[in-house]
Every structure is written in C-alpha cells, then in structure tokens.
Amino acid sequence: MKEFSIITVSIINLIIGLRYGILTYKQKIKPSLAMWVFFTLAVTMSLITYMADGNYSIWDNILNTTDLLLVFSISVMIYFFGDKSSEFTSFDKGCLVAVIFIMLFWFVTKTHFLSHILVQTILVIAYFPVIRRLWQSKENTEPFSVWILLMIAPAFSLLSSKGSLATIYAVRAILSTGILLLLMLRIQLFKRNLPRTNYNKPSRKISLKQYIKKRA
C-alpha cells in the first residue's frame, strides 16, 4: 500500500507540473507568482521541520517531498513565462513578511513541531493572493484540472504518511485546495448566469435618431 501511495502521488504531481507549466507557457492561465514563491519557501520548511521532529525519511511524507519539486518548478515557469499580473502586489509583500517572520522563528527556537504547525499557517497564507484574485475577478484564471488533482494527491498520500505532522500537512492541503475550487466554481456559475440575466432585462436606452423618429 505504501508503494502504491508513493507512486500514485508522484505521478499525479508530475502530471500537475507538466499541465501547469504548459498552460503558463502558452499564457492560457494567469497564476500568482507570489503564491507559488510562498509555496516554495513554506514547503521547504515544512519538510525540514517534519524530518527534524522525528526519525522520518523523505518517503514518509511523499506529498511534502514531491510538492517541493512541484512548487519550485512552477515558480520558475511563472517567473520566466507568466503574465504581468503575476507580479508582487502590496498585499503579496505583506504576506511575504509573515512568511519570513515564521521562518526566522524556527531558526532561532529550533522548535520543530510548533514551527511545522506555523509553516502550515504559511501555506494557508500562501493562498491569499489567488483567493483575493478569484474573489474580486469575474474571470477564472486557474485550471480546474490542476486543482482537482492537487486535492486528490493529498488523499492518496495519507495511505503512506507517517506521524501526525504528515497527516496535518495532507488535510491542510485538501481543505485549502477545496476552498479554491469553490471560488472557481462560483466564477463559472456567475459567468453562466450573466448572459441570461442581461437577456431578460429590458433595454430602456433609446438612441437620439429613434427618439426623433418616434416624435415625428
């Protein structure tokens, strides 16, 4: 069962990386660079604190291990080929300060368990830029296929995870990606209802020529 979990999660994350990279290169999506940079920093710290907290290997938390390769490669793709809207905003910079603060806390205290929990907070904060974008936007900038796979992979990883920290990591990933999928679905429903709403509304605007002709 452990081998099945490791292989499945690795394949899913490989598919996600290839899919996301191709869509970014072709400018078909507009991912947030800030979010994926946060992911790279936080996922690295998450794996370090997980392994330091107990006698674990990189295979004992396969989701965290493969996530590190995934988020780093996606960050590089967005940096070189991403849309200009992927640049850091003031909101993103504020989140980055929070990320750095928690990382410094771990370096000073070396409290692995607490730092790992705080890192999961970082990974939640990392979603804020894209959540903010999806909440304010009327256009979905993220691919459904990728985020569905990002929610499925943690479920399979639970079959081989060791320790409570690995479980926390997987559950946090499932909940976070679930929120994004709901926001993306909200945009799709809004776009689907918009033409119907506009069609049903009677137009009261009359051009000047129509007004003159009517008066005549």
Q: Which residues of 54-84 are buried (b: 16+ CB within 10 A; e: fewer)?
A: eebeeebbbbbbbbbebbbbbbebbeeebee
pLDDT at position 199 is 43
Within 8 A by CB and 6+ apart from 162, the residues are 54, 56, 60, 61
What number of helices (H) and strands (E) belong to the chain? 9, 0
Cβ-based neighbour number of residue 176 at 10 Å = 20
Of 185, 182, 157, 181, which is closest to residue 171 (Cα–Cα)?
157
Per-residue pLDDT tens digits for 5-20: 999 999 999 999 999 8
Of 176, 98, 162, which is closest to residue 134 (Cα–Cα)?
176
Tokens encoding 196: 């119907």
Q: What percent of the chain has pLDDT over 70?
A: 88
The amino acid at residue 83 is: D
pLDDT at 205 > cutoff 70? no
**What is the average per-residue pLDDT within 151-164?**
94
Is 91 or 177 the better-scoring residue by pLDDT? Answer: 177
**Where does the pLDDT of residue 214 fall: very low under 50, low under 70, confident under 90, or very high at 90 and above?**
low
Is 127 or 205 the better-scoring residue by pLDDT? Answer: 127
**Where does the pLDDT of residue 160 fall: very low under 50, low under 70, confident under 90, or very high at 90 and above?**
very high
Which residue intervals of 26-127 are DSSP H helices? Answer: 33-53, 62-81, 90-109, 112-125
Of 177, 170, 175, which is closest to residue 146 (Cα–Cα)?
177
Per-residue pLDDT tens digits for 32-63: 787 788 889 889 999 999 999 888 989 999 99
Query: Do 140 and 134 contact (CB within 8 A), yes or no?
Result: yes
**Where does the pLDDT of residue 2 fall: very low under 50, low under 70, confident under 90, or very high at 90 and above?**
confident
pLDDT at position 202 is 47
Phi-psi region of 27 (alpha: psi -120 to 50; beta: other; left: phi over 0): left
What average pLDDT is seen over the chain? 83
pLDDT at position 211 is 47
pLDDT at position 86 is 62
Per-residue pLDDT tens digits for 102-139: 888 888 988 889 989 988 988 888 787 778 878 887 88
**Chain centroid, CA 66 distance in Å:** 15
Per-residue pLDDT tens digits for 177-195: 999 999 999 988 887 776 5
Query: Do 38 and 122 contact (CB within 8 A), yes or no?
Result: yes
Can you tell me the distance from the alpha carbon of 47 to that of 43, in angstroms, rounded to the nearest whole number?
6
pLDDT at position 203 is 46
Q: Radius of gyration of the chain from Cα atoms? A: 22
